[in-house]
Structure 1
Amino acid sequence: MRNSLVICAAIATFVSSAAAAVDCNPSYNVPPSTTCFTNCNIQTGQKWVPGWTMDHTSPLFLDSLALMCNKAGPNYMNFMTNAGMCMAKCTGDDPDLFTAEFTAACAWWNKHKNDSFTVSICPTATDSFCQPGFRGKKNGRGPEGACCSHSDDCQESCIKGKCNAPIATTCYTGSEGRGNGDGYNGACCETSDDCWESCVKGKCNGPSLATCDIGFIGKKTGKGPKNSCCNSNRDCKNSCVKGKCD
């Protein structure tokens, strides 16, 4: 989208200024409901989208709205049920305010859900951006630049909320000795049977988790689009080839 490119150019121009503000979704102008309703959504959304937010300036905003607005999503009903139970405790708040926000927000999301402002568009613009999908998972798979809350989220270490670059002599665990053929680049391995491609000096080579969308891996929903990370064909719309949906 043109907005994405303009924003990225602005970031590149003003990155030296700590006060530079970035609005990832400048066309969003839906009035908020109440603090209690919003907090219920935020609290509930964390389970499926770490960092779930109603802040339209955030790179996670579209992912957050997708959970709330995509009725075909695998976690839509769970999110709405749990958020609704929480909102029932917001005594004194007018539920019509949330209904108005929900309706307008989801109408905006349906129009803008394919907007292309993502972390990868401006990967070096500012340290405030990181690759979502790894924070709090503690599976040791977060590549350089991934969001993290603990070093257990990363292949190496979590520094100021972002995974740093793996040291060349280290590898991340989870695939070694299992023979499942699911080890991405940098995974520890005993033989090539542990990796998508080959085991070289105790580390898998081949596809990297940093180069594919991890939102479908292991979900077995058959909805993973091209270049999504995958464990099997069941994660993809088509086929899983060497760790990526084709």
Structure 2
Amino acid sequence: MKFATAIVATTVAAVASAQALWTFPPEGPCVANCTDSVGKTFFPFYNDVDSTGPFFFTSLSYTFERGTPTTIEFMSAAGTCMQTCPMPEQNAYRASYPLKLKWYQDNKPAALARRRL
């Protein structure tokens, strides 16, 4: 039991440490509204803003678990919404996407990595 408790505590500390490193600025209110509103149609607790929240990595998985049916559907809907956003916000999203993808892949919890959406 002590071993299991130590593993859980280590995992929580590692996730909290990784989450603290999310330093990406928002792309703008229109893009944020698109990802949030589309995200909530998939997952009611969707939250890709609060890196300390319990659903942060699950929410990011809708964008960054590439090749899954859920991510394809999410990105199609979010992309359609973003077409109405100001071009500077769209450009900021496109510029930040590969950096955020890399961060996500490097920091996602192991349990989430094994899960296919």
- TM-score above 0.5: yes
The one-letter amino acid of 1:44's match is V
Residues 1:61 and 2:69 aligned together: no
Residue in 2 that maps onto 1:4:
12
Which of 99, 104, 110 is the matching residue for 2:94? 99
Structure 1 pair 7–71 and aligned structure 2 pair: CA distance change class (3 A): closer
The one-letter amino acid of 2:79's match is G
Stretches of structure 1 lacking an aligned partner (at least 5 in a row):
9-22, 117-215, 217-222, 225-246
Structure 1 pair 33–91 and aligned structure 2 pair: CA distance change class (3 A): closer
Q: How far apart are residue 54 of structure 1 and its match?
A: 1.8
Structure 1 pair 24–51 and aligned structure 2 pair: CA distance change class (3 A): farther
SS in 2 for 1:25: helix
C-alpha separation in 1, matches of 2:99 and 2:14: 25
C-alpha separation in 2, matches of 1:69 and 1:5: 23
State the TM-score, normalizing by the size of structure 1: 0.37
Which of 23, 27, 47 is the matching residue for 2:41? 47
Q: Name the structure with the higher strand share.
A: 1
Residues 1:84 and 2:92 aligned together: no
Residue in 2 that maps onto 1:74:
69
SS in 2 for 1:47: helix
> Does structure 2 retain, via aligned residues, the 8 Å contact 1:24–1:57?
no
Residues 1:27 and 2:21 aligned together: yes
Q: How far apart are residue 32 of structure 1 and its match?
A: 1.6
Report 1:121-160 matches (<5 A).
none
> Does structure 2 retain, via aligned residues, the 8 Å contact 1:65–1:106?
no
Which of 27, 30, 39 is the matching residue for 1:36? 30
The one-letter amino acid of 1:4's match is V
Which of 100, 103, 108 is the matching residue for 1:108? 103
State the TM-score, normalizing by the size of structure 2: 0.73
Structure 1 pair 5–95 and aligned structure 2 pair: CA distance change class (3 A): closer
> Does structure 1 retain, via aligned residues, the 8 Å contact 2:38–2:78?
yes
> Does structure 2 retain, via aligned residues, the 8 Å contact 1:24–1:58?
no
Residue correspondences, number: 105
Structure 1 pair 37–53 and aligned structure 2 pair: CA distance change class (3 A): same
**Higher relative CO (CA 8 A, sep ≥ 6), structure 1 or 2?**
2
Q: How far apart are residue 106 of structure 1 and its match?
A: 1.4
Q: How far apart are residue 93 of structure 1 and its match?
A: 3.5
Q: How far apart are residue 6 of structure 1 and its match?
A: 8.0
> Does structure 2 retain, via aligned residues, the 8 Å contact 1:70–1:76?
yes
Residues 185-230 of structure 1: per-residue CA shift (max 9 Å, x gap): xxxxxxxxxxxxxxxxxxxxxxxxxxxxxxx8xxxxxx59xxxxxx
Stretches of structure 2 lacking an aligned partner (at least 5 in a row):
1-8
